[in-house]
Amino acid sequence: MKYCSTRGKVSGLSFEDVLFSGYLADGGMALPEVIPEVPSETLKSWVGLSYKELVQKIVPLYVSQEELPLVVLEELVGQALSTFDVPEIIPIVCFPGGLNIMELFHGQTWAFKDLAMSILGQFFNFFLNKRQKHLMLVVGTSGDTGSSAIAAVRGLKWVDIVVVLPRDRCTLIQELQMTTVKEDNVFVFRADGSSDDLDVPIREIFDDADFVKKHHLCSANSLNWARIMVQIVHFFYAYIKLCPECDQELEIVVPTGGAGNITAGFIAHKMGLPVKLVCVANSNDGIAQMVGSGFYKLSNVKPSLAPAMDIKFAYNIERLWYLCSERNSELVRKMMEEVEMEGKVETPDSILEELQMVLSAYGADDEDIKRTLRQCWEENHYLLCPHSATAVAYYYKKQASVHNLSQLSVCFATASPLKFGEALTAAGLKPISTEAIQKLMQLPTQYVDMELTDDWKAMLREKVEEMTASFNLRNKQ
């Protein structure tokens, strides 16, 4: 398996090449040159597999054994998933009336990103140990990615990480999961802006090819193909658990921010998985509007009860456009240039039709979220996080409008309600307090603030240079 860029000027890359990259040299994003197919007979043979076993079936479709032998993959995946607090890793809760919820949040930071990120950290460790090479992760986060990335690599010998979070736009628990980590290889900035604002200097740093090469810069966002690859497993796992006869279509409802998860689902469909996808946005619903009408216009981000979805531009759309345009990289490049220059773009009908064959969209604002949080608690005594509530809001609306719901469906629960006491309070529900939360609240914090008047790019560059020098000094000693 080799990898190419959505912008068309980079191809023939190995898995290791794309694992240790952010945006590629032509500004594009990595995708496999060929999407592997999973025949129905193979899919049926996977029924009954555990999540761990399924990871070990799907990853080798994208990574050769020469790069990652099966015995090594088994060891790395086992190590990564040992941090989860339930043996099934991803439990599915089924309620009367057809509401099915797949809990993706049982990792160290109580968010779905732990699933792929914990495995990504093990991949980093394996290849870096092999090469005796340093890696510098620079990560922008809207709430959950930063803490998940830190948990995956904290204390690793060969990896340093710099995380930038949007100050006062995360929940307190989200922020503390980042700012209370004290490791030599971890540094956290709090920026006075939205997650889209802080993405600008990060992108500018990655555009400097010499700087990237000198400091071995890499991304752990869903920009990184390995994140998407592992998330493909979520969709196959949901299907074999809910459709063990493999004889029907499954609707999967996905809370969507940067669109990494929905891209993984789209690729799973391309591989032959019989699924229809629903992309659910919050009040920042640019991606939902694009899927519905083809028109995407950048607008200012409005803080919401589902902060990890407060994103102006869902950057994985570039991958979706590429896959739906018969890999027309020139068209994708022009569309992205239009977004960057004009702040808006019209999706060509041919791409939109291909996208809508698999994907529909829905938007849930804060009132929808609060109403859904209350309804799910009242009917099932089950607490959702506000992001997961956007998916269940779609289900409830569909249930109310369709007399007989014949379509089997599942809603992805992307984070634990433990992290979002503010949203539960806003909905009139009681937040959960646990021993782990109380311990987290008492830990000392460590971070540097980025003010609006500061040069964020210069601050990031300086910190990267400082941490690289510190790494080199530690290794000489």
Pairwise CA distance, residues 47 & 238, whole Å: 11
Task: List pLDDT tens digits, range 22-34.
Answer: 788 898 999 999 9
From 256-270, 360-374, 399-413, the region with the lowest mean pLDDT:
399-413
Q: Which residues contact 50 (CB under 8 A, 6 or more apart)?
A: 88, 89
Polymer length of the chain: 477
H-helix or E-strand containing 98?
none
Query: Do 229 and 117 form a contact (C-beta atoms < 8 A)?
Result: no
pLDDT the model gives residue 28: 93
Average pLDDT, the chain: 94
pLDDT at 136 over 60: yes
Task: List pLDDT tens digits, range 300-309.
Answer: 888 899 988 9
H-helix or E-strand containing 186?
strand 186-191
* Mean per-residue pLDDT, 355-369: 96
* Mean per-residue pLDDT, 355-382: 97
Q: How many alpha carbons lie under 13 Å from residue 34 in its C-beta half-sphere?
A: 7
Closest CA to 277 of 329, 323, 312: 323
DSSP structure class, residue 111: B
Of residues 474 and 250, more confidence is placed in 250
Task: List pLDDT tens digits, range 192-235.
Answer: 998 888 888 998 998 888 999 999 999 888 889 999 999 999 99
User: pTM for this one?
Assistant: 0.94
Residue type, 125: N
* Mean per-residue pLDDT, 410-424: 95
pLDDT at 403 over 80: no
Pairwise CA distance, residues 135 & 232, whole Å: 25
In DSSP terms, 250 is beta-bridged to 275
pLDDT the model gives residue 184: 92
Residue type, 324: C
In this prediction, residue 120 has a pLDDT band, given cuts at 50, 70 and 90, of: very high
Of residues 34 and 298, more confidence is placed in 34
pLDDT the model gives residue 142: 80
pLDDT the model gives residue 221: 85
pLDDT at 272 over 60: yes
pLDDT at 430 over 60: yes
Query: Do 460 and 162 form a contact (C-beta atoms < 8 A)?
Result: yes
pLDDT at 407 over 90: no
pLDDT the model gives residue 417: 95
Residue type, 165: L
Other Cβ atoms closer than 10 A to 7: 20
* Mean per-residue pLDDT, 109-127: 95
In this prediction, residue 64 has a pLDDT band, given cuts at 50, 70 and 90, of: very high
pLDDT the model gives residue 404: 63
Q: Tell how strand 92-94 and strand 100-103 pair up.
A: antiparallel
Task: List pLDDT tens digits, range 314-340.
Answer: 989 999 999 999 999 999 999 999 999
Pairwise CA distance, residues 186 & 373, whole Å: 35
Pairwise CA distance, residues 219 & 150, whole Å: 12
pLDDT at 405 over 80: no
